[in-house]
Amino acid sequence: MSNVEDHLAIRELAARYNRAFDYGNPEAWVECFTEDGIFEMGGKQLASGSEALLAFAKKMIPTMKVKHCTTDAIVEVNGDTASHDAYLILMDCGDKVSASNSGRYLDTVVKQNGQWKFKQRVVEIDGKM
């Protein structure tokens, strides 16, 4: 896989993550992570490992009618590891669609069996959740 293909695959990973959460598929959301993957937000580790990630997703996904939009991604690939730094715009899709928050993803991504997955996904939120 060329460097361009790796960049595109990592951006697609972020898109799969967004759609899995936004369209209510916790199992597909967890598939975006390594088995020992870590999810952090606001300086706190919220889940580590597939079981905890799935429990987190099953709890949170039904409570939110949102669309995660990522933009301005910077991807740096170094062999089978990479960093992904992207802005997040969180859209509230309730009665009146509006931007509800923004932030930034700071990710460590690894290639396993030819597929890129999040090893660690850190979310920095600009406002209050």
Contacts of 105 (CB under 8 A, 6+ apart): 14, 70, 84, 85, 86, 87, 88, 121, 122, 123, 124
Note the pLDDT of residue 127: 72
**What single-letter amino acid sits at 128?**
K
Note the pLDDT of residue 100: 86
Mean pLDDT computed over 58-68 = 94
Note the pLDDT of residue 98: 87
Domain spans of the chain?
Answer: 3-125
Q: State the residue for tokens 């598929």.
A: 25
Mean pLDDT rounded to a whole number for the chain: 94
Note the pLDDT of residue 2: 64
Mean pLDDT computed over 62-83 = 95
Taking only the tens place, the pLDDT of each residue in 11-52 is 999 999 999 999 999 999 999 999 999 999 989 999 999 999
The H or E element that residue 90 is part of is strand 81-92
Does the domain at 3-125 match CATH 3.10.450.50? Answer given as: yes
